[in-house]
A and B are shown apart, each in its own frame.
Chain A
Amino acid sequence: MTFLSEITAIQNIIYIFSSILFITGIKMLGKEDTAVKGNFFSALAMFIAVSITLIDVVNPIVLLSGIALGAVIGSFIALKVKMTSIPEMVALFNGFGGLATFLIAWSEFNSIPDNLFQHVLVMTTLYIGGVTFTGSLVAYAKLSEKIKIAKTSIITKIFTTIFYISLPFLLYSTFVTPFIVTSFEFFTVLLVLTLLGGIGFVLPIGGGDMPVVISLLNSFSGIAAAFAGLLLLNNVLIVAGSLVGASGLILTVIMAKAMNRSISNILFVGYASSSASSSSSEEQGEVSPISVSDAYLILESASSVLIIPGYGMAVAQAQHVVRELGELLEENGTEVKYGIHPVAGRMPGHMNVLLAEANVPYDVLAEPDDVNPTMDAVDVAVVIGANDVVNPSATEEPGSPIYGMPIIEVHNAKTVFVLKRSMSSGFAGVQNPLFFKQNTRMLFGDAKESIGGLVSEFKD
């Protein structure tokens, strides 16, 4: 055994150890009590894998300076970012991971693949990595509201078209080019089409469907890393990448189920335009508005209150006043719970993060299945900037675009307060019959101001 192959053998043994730590880490990350430790284990696994790789690289100065630069930028962003911007940060970091695998595949292409299988791997890794990169950047821009481009705009259509062109071109590059002499630089074309195609993949997908896209891109970045591992014959890349791919896939499925839609419907169709269903909205009757002081009187005498937050709470940044209201209600002897729908907000678990930031303990947060059976015992359900996830059409109107979607059935509560800016419909573009129900009271205005008003009423 030569010295070099001994080092490789040691590295591979350490990689196995690192893989075990990754597996343990991600398992612990799935439980509340062990999550912090799980994240630490996975970071430790990363540290070990990177360190053992570094011991025999040529010209380490270039690589070490790259790591140092990345460490500074990454840490700076991670520590500076406001907790409320976490969704877009995750998207951004995810994009950088995708870019790294895209670059790995690019570099490997220049090493001249020596068999067809390697060629296929280079192309697939390049494509998934590239789409993850630009797709995540678009998701980042959408989540941070840096771009607002309508699904129907010409720009969206151009990019979507490029995405659909990029797919057959990927097939051509993967399976045809190894056998013919191309008259053009097909690889350069593929690089460009991949990056532009990633934009076209995410651009037409609406804000309310973002939780699905983010989870899917997360999964992609893992799959790309695993493929890069196959390409470079590196087992820790394969194991870690596969774990990420699997966890992203699970989240994607959970999100799609919570909307009762298939993944392909979310990605390629979107909601049907609302014009067809709008005819019935005229005959739904009148809404009953309520003032803050009247709402206070009802809340004050309630013995159980359920709070249902939605994207509107995130927009109004109302989570802190919501927590304050919850605490005041509890001091008043009211039982307070939060009903969290899995797709409320713009990313998986968005509401949970916001409420955690406001110091709401996670054991008062309940899922739809936990709150729906006892809904008729709830005195007041307070809906804060949520719409589609509490729309009774999902259970009552078989013709509705959202029919069949699991919702939080607040309409079964004794009284429902809906905090809303205006009567506009939610992301799905469907009118919400909840607003017209006998037991519903509309509290119009900015959620933060309305709740703030309630809080000061309680304090007086």
Chain B
Amino acid sequence: METYILLGFVLILSIYLGLELIAKVPSTLHTPLMSGANAISGIALVGALILSRDSDLQNTIAFFAVTFASINVFGGYLVTNRMLKMFKKK
């Protein structure tokens, strides 16, 4: 239970940090920020990698979880990068 409390602490602080960091984002960057954040949510990939695989079902699930999280990661970062490259100053 102590571990959960510690991790819960990390969770709350991270959310608060996130809210503070992004509070004043210019509207030009709304789409790239969303797309970039979307790529970060592909961190589920790390979770998918450490799943226990004791049965065929779990093995299959892990494979698909890894695949879809990877699509999210690679697609997300590349699209964000392509988008940001378009934004130019006068």
CA distance A359 to B29 in the complex (A): 15
Are A57 and B74 in contact, CB atoms less than 8 angstroms apart? Answer: no
Are B51 and A108 in contact, CB atoms less than 8 angstroms apart? Answer: yes
A348 within 8 A of B: yes
Per-residue A-contact encoding for B66-78, CB less than 8 Å = 1, 0 else: 1111111111111
A361 within 8 A of B: yes
If over half of A's interface residues share one DSSP class (helix, strand or loop), that class is named, otherwise mixed; here it is helix
Neighbouring B residues of A251 by C-beta, 8 Å: 25, 30, 33-34
Are A83 and B83 in contact, CB atoms less than 8 angstroms apart? Answer: yes
Q: Which of A149-157, A220-228, A265-273, A284-292 contacts B (4 or more CB under 8 A)?
A: A220-228
A437 within 8 A of B: no
Are B41 and A241 in contact, CB atoms less than 8 angstroms apart? Answer: yes
A377 within 8 A of B: no
Known A-B contacts A62-B59, A96-B69, A361-B88; the reply to A349 vs B31 at CB < 8 A is yes
Are B67 and A70 in contact, CB atoms less than 8 angstroms apart? Answer: yes
CB < 8 Å neighbour of B83 from A86, A103, A117, A232: A86
Are A340 and B27 in contact, CB atoms less than 8 angstroms apart? Answer: yes
A7 within 8 A of B: no
If over half of B's interface residues share one DSSP class (helix, strand or loop), that class is named, otherwise mixed; here it is helix
A29 closest partner in B (C-beta): B36
A53 within 8 A of B: yes
A206 within 8 A of B: no
Shortest CB-to-CB span from A282 to chain B, Å, is 37
Which of A362-390 touch B at CB < 8 Å?
Answer: 362-365, 367
CB < 8 Å neighbour of B11 from A238, A250, A367: A238
Are A111 and B44 in contact, CB atoms less than 8 angstroms apart? Answer: no
CA distance A332 to B11 in the complex (A): 56
Are A100 and B65 in contact, CB atoms less than 8 angstroms apart? Answer: yes
Are A93 and B76 in contact, CB atoms less than 8 angstroms apart? Answer: yes
Are A53 and B41 in contact, CB atoms less than 8 angstroms apart? Answer: no
Name the residue among A226, A233, A340 with the largest chain B CB count within 10 angstroms. A226
Q: How many A-B residue pairs have CB under 8 A?
A: 375
How many residues of B are counted as interface, with CB atoms below 8 angstroms from the partner's CB atoms? 81
CA distance A58 to B31 in the complex (A): 38
Are B14 and A239 in contact, CB atoms less than 8 angstroms apart? Answer: yes
Are B81 and A39 in contact, CB atoms less than 8 angstroms apart? Answer: yes
A101 within 8 A of B: yes
Neighbouring A residues of B31 by C-beta, 8 Å: 86-87, 90, 347-350, 352-353
Are B18 and A243 in contact, CB atoms less than 8 angstroms apart? Answer: yes
Neighbouring A residues of B11 by C-beta, 8 Å: 226, 229-230, 238, 242
Neighbouring B residues of A107 by C-beta, 8 Å: 51-52, 57-58, 61-62, 65
Are B88 and A96 in contact, CB atoms less than 8 angstroms apart? Answer: no
Are A234 and B57 in contact, CB atoms less than 8 angstroms apart? Answer: no
A414 within 8 A of B: no
Are A218 and B72 in contact, CB atoms less than 8 angstroms apart? Answer: no
Neighbouring A residues of B36 by C-beta, 8 Å: 25-26, 29, 35, 38-39, 42
Known A-B contacts A23-B21, A30-B24; the reply to A244 vs B41 at CB < 8 A is yes
Neighbouring B residues of A348 by C-beta, 8 Å: 27, 30-31, 34
Shortest CB-to-CB span from B29 to chain A, Å, is 6
Are A36 and B45 in contact, CB atoms less than 8 angstroms apart? Answer: no
Which of A198-238 touch B at CB < 8 Å?
Answer: 214-215, 218, 221-222, 224-226, 228-230, 232-238
CA distance A178 to B4 in the complex (A): 19
Which of A314-369 touch B at CB < 8 Å?
Answer: 340, 342, 347-350, 352-353, 356-357, 359, 361-365, 367
B59 closest partner in A (C-beta): A62
A23 closest partner in B (C-beta): B17
A38 closest partner in B (C-beta): B36
Neighbouring B residues of A235 by C-beta, 8 Å: 7, 10
Per-residue A-contact encoding for B7-41, CB less than 8 Å = 1, 0 else: 11011001111110111111111111111111111
CB < 8 Å neighbour of A232 from B16, B47, B81: B47
Shortest CB-to-CB span from A398 to chain B, Å, is 28
Known A-B contacts A73-B71, A233-B7, A350-B31; the reply to A93 vs B51 at CB < 8 A is no
Could you list 18 examples of A-B contacts with CB < 8 Å? A23-B21, A26-B22, A39-B32, A49-B46, A66-B66, A70-B71, A74-B78, A97-B72, A100-B69, A230-B11, A240-B40, A244-B37, A247-B22, A347-B30, A348-B30, A348-B31, A349-B27, A349-B31
Chain B residues at the A interface, C-beta cutoff of 8 Å? 1, 3-4, 7-8, 10-11, 14-19, 21-55, 57-59, 61-90
Ordered nearest first, which 8 A-B pairs have the shortest CB separation?
A: A70-B70, A246-B18, A349-B30, A74-B74, A66-B66, A242-B14, A74-B75, A78-B78
Beyond the given A104-B44, A342-B30, could you list 9 further A-B residue pairs with CB under 8 A, ordered by the A residue number? Answer: A35-B29, A39-B81, A46-B39, A63-B62, A65-B63, A90-B35, A97-B38, A103-B65, A214-B34
